[in-house]
Each structure stands twice: as C-alpha cells, then as structure tokens.
Amino acid sequence: MSRIAFIGLGNMGLPMAQNLLKAGHQVEGVDLNPASLEKLVTAGGTHVEFAKVAAARADVVITMLPAGKHVRDVYLGSGGIIENANPGTLLIDCSTIDVETAREVAAAAEARGLFMVDAPVSGGTGGAAGGTLTFMVGGSTQAFERAQSILDKMGKTIVHAGGAGNGQAAKICNNMILGISMIAVSEAFVLAEKLGLDHQKLFDISSRSSGQCWSMTTYCPVPGPVPTSPANRDYAPGFTAAMMLKDLRLAQDAAKSSGATTELGADAERIYSAYAASGEAEKDFSGIFRFIRA
Ligand code: NAD
C-alpha cells in the first residue's frame, strides 16, 4: 500500500483517485475546488491545502492538471513538489501537456533524486471511472517499473513509450490522428447526404471496408449507427471540442519546434478552432459533423 498525494481532482483526477482508494492505497488530495475534495473524503481519502505538504509525506505524487503552465507551477514553483518531496519519491504526471515542459520537469526531478514519469491517458472520463485508461508512459525503465503497479489500478493498457516526454509525444500524435480522422469521417457523412446515401448504409459499408477507423466504428459522429456515441445525446461530452483543440495546438507547436510537416494536422487545428469559436467548445468533439454540415 502506498501513501499517494493526488493533485488535480477534476473530471479525470477524481475517479482515478477513487480507484486508487478502492485498491487499498491511502490518498491525500489537493485541488482548488472544495466540492472535489469533499467527494474524495466521501470515498475514504483525506485532503490538505498545499501540494508541497502532501508531497512531503507521500511515497507517490500523481498530478492530473489542465495544462503545461499548471504542471510547471505545481512542480517547479517555489514551494513546489520537487523542492519538497523526499528523495526516492515517485512522481507521475498524467496531465496532457507539451513535451518540452514534461522533459524540463523530469530533469529537475532527476536532479533532486526523484523518479518521474509523464503518463498521459486516453480513454476519457468513462475510462477513468471504469479503471480502463490507456497510459502512455515516458521515463527511465526504473521509474516506469515503479509506476506500473500504481497505474494498473487506474488503467488497462500501460505502454512504456521511451524516455522522459515520450508519453506526451505519443499522446499528441495519437490525438492528431483522432482529430483528422473525425473530420474525415464527418465530411464523408456530409457528402453521403448530398449524394442521397443513408448514414446507416455508409456506416454498414465503411465500417467493414477500408474507411474503417475508431471515429467511424466506435464514436460515429452521426446519430443512429453506434448507439453509445455522443451523437445520440446531442453531442454531450465525452471529450470536448475545447480539449481536442488543446491537443491539436500542442501537436502543431511540437511540429513547428521539431520541423515536422503536418499539413492535415494544421488543417484540423484550424477547423476545430472555428468549431470551438462557434459556441460549441463544450460540446463533444464529434459534433464537428454538425459544423461541417452547416
Ligand atoms: P478538469 O479541469 O476537470 O480538472 C483539473 C483540476 O485541476 C480541477 O479540479 C482544478 O481545480 C485543478 N487544479 C488546477 N490548478 C490546480 C492547482 N494549482 N492545484 C491543485 N489543483 C489544481 O480537467 P480534466 O478533464 O480532469 O483533465 C485533466 C487533464 O487530463 C488535462 O490535461 C486533459 O487534457 C487530460 N485529459 C482529459 C480527458 C477528458 O476526457 N476529460 C481525456 C484525456 C486526457
């Protein structure tokens, strides 16, 4: 059993922390939102005001924060986690952030004798609640091996992607594929309508042909063919357009700084940016179908 400090108990962090409690770990939570802290206490956890206090008495620190600037502040800021954790403590950042920040924080942690992995997730709030997340992990083999027994209480698939920052690299590449493929599938359904082809017919054919992909078969952006997809509940998220846009921006920043050519990634960022600005930022990202049709 580990003593875990869990910083960032939002839509993802709270259910992940609840799964750690169910597995018998002690969890001390830190969040700016008192309602989240109360829910953690109801599930058997404790809470404290400052991350540095929780970090100083933990064996493992997990963060699940909105973006790179929050991760930087919480780890590197004066009175942050790295300054206050005891040598040997394992740090796991599950937030989706830029590769550069992930590598900078990991280097600062290593310099103080801490073990760190970046471990962003795929699987959304459903995966967080069900303990079925996929973790893409960057860090040393030793840090990865220590993190595995904690991550497997929150996820089903745990992949070591390489050194520090490679978990974030994998996440950004994966979500760039997802953003582009959701637009491609949505454009195909819009074209099918214009050509007098039923949504269901296109689905029946494409889901078993070379157009098959996750955006078609699991998360179909039109109502009907896949009853569990957000299209059947007016595009309630799910995974919001704002979050998809955040990840596409991270991909474009990474492409620019590394010199990669990602033309469709750039188009996807532009299209999601227009969709989010149309007042739909908090709708599911698959609602891009409605935007393209309009
Ligand atoms: P969220 O906004 O619901 O939760 C973030 C939490 O962090 C909030 O409760 C906020 O109060 C807290 N927080 C912010 N700054 C803090 C600080 N300085 N100290 C303590 N707490 C602080 O976001 P989320 O949906 O849980 O997403 C978290 C991360 O997971 C993001 O990086 C996101 O991109 C990634 N992600 C989300 C999903 C999803 O479907 N929601 C899926 C995959 C990955």
Average pLDDT (5-20) is 97
Ligand 1, residue 237: give the atom nearest the CA: 40
Average pLDDT (106-116) is 98
Best residue for ligand 1 mutational test, from 31, 69, 94, 219 (most atoms within 8 Å of Cβ): 31
Same domain, 147 and 287: no
CATH of the domain at 40: 3.40.50.720
Same domain, 134 and 17: yes
CATH of the domain at 270: 1.10.1040.10
135 Cα–ligand 1 center, Å: 16
Taking each helix axis as running N to C, give the angle between helix 34-42 and helix 13-22, from 0 to 180 degrees, rounded to the nearest 10: 20
Question: Is residue 185 exposed (0-12), middle (13-18) or buried (19+ Cβ within 10 Å)?
Answer: buried
CA distance linking residue 123 with residue 214, whole number of Å: 12
pLDDT at position 126 is: 86
Average pLDDT (268-274) is 98
* Residues shown for the chain: 294
Same domain, 267 and 196: yes
What's the pTM? 0.94
Same domain, 260 and 215: yes
Residue where a domain stops, chosen among 112, 132, 163? 163
Same domain, 147 and 173: no
Residue where a domain stops, chosen among 116, 143, 163? 163
Same domain, 244 and 272: yes
DSSP string, 224-291: SSSTTSGGGGTT--SSBHHHHHHHHHHHHHHHHHHT---HHHHHHHHHHHHHIIIIITTSBGGGHHHH
Pocket lining: 66 vs ligand 1, CB cutoff 6 Å? yes
229 Cα–ligand 1 center, Å: 23
Domain membership of residue 262 as a residue range: 169-293
pLDDT mean across residues, the chain: 97
pLDDT at position 144 is: 98
* Spacing of C-alpha 82 from chain mean position: 23
pLDDT at position 125 is: 87
What is the tens place of the pLDDT at every residue in 77-88?
A: 888 999 999 999
Pocket lining: 174 vs ligand 1, CB cutoff 6 Å? no
Same domain, 151 and 198: no
Question: What residue's CA is closest to ligand 1, atom 44?
Answer: 121
Alpha helices in the chain (DSSP H): 13-22, 34-42, 51-56, 68-76, 81-84, 99-111, 124-130, 141-151, 166-194, 199-206, 214-217, 241-258, 263-275, 288-293
Portion of the chain with pLDDT greater than 90, in percent:
96
What is the tens place of the pLDDT at every residue in 156-180?
A: 999 999 999 999 999 999 999 999 9
**Would the pLDDT of 40 be above 90?**
yes
Question: What residue's CA is closest to ligand 1, atom 12?
Answer: 8
Where do we find the tokens 């999601």? 272
**Which tops the pLDDT comparison, 237 or 28?**
28
Same domain, 175 and 147: no
Same domain, 239 and 93: no
Same domain, 16 and 157: yes
Where do we find the tokens 């357009």? 241
57 Cα–ligand 1 center, Å: 23
Same domain, 211 and 234: yes
pLDDT classification of 68: cutoffs 50, 70, 90: very high
Residue where a domain stops, chosen among 128, 163, 198? 163
By C-alpha distance, which of 169, 16, 164 is closest to 91?
164
Q: Could you give the dihedral angle defined by the CA atoms of residues 193, 199, 201 and 202, in that order, rounded to the nearest 10 degrees?
A: 80
pLDDT classification of 8: cutoffs 50, 70, 90: very high
**Would the pLDDT of 189 be above 90?**
yes
Where do we find the tokens 């049709």? 293
Domain tally, the chain: 2
Pocket lining: 12 vs ligand 1, CB cutoff 6 Å? yes
Same domain, 144 and 35: yes
φ/ψ region of 165 (left if φ > 0, alpha if ψ in -120 to 50, else beta) reads left
Question: What residue's CA is closest to ligand 1, atom 4?
Answer: 10
By C-alpha distance, which of 18, 260, 263 is closest to 125?
18
**Would the pLDDT of 124 be above 90?**
no
61 Cα–ligand 1 center, Å: 15
pLDDT at position 235 is: 98
Residues belonging to the active site: 171
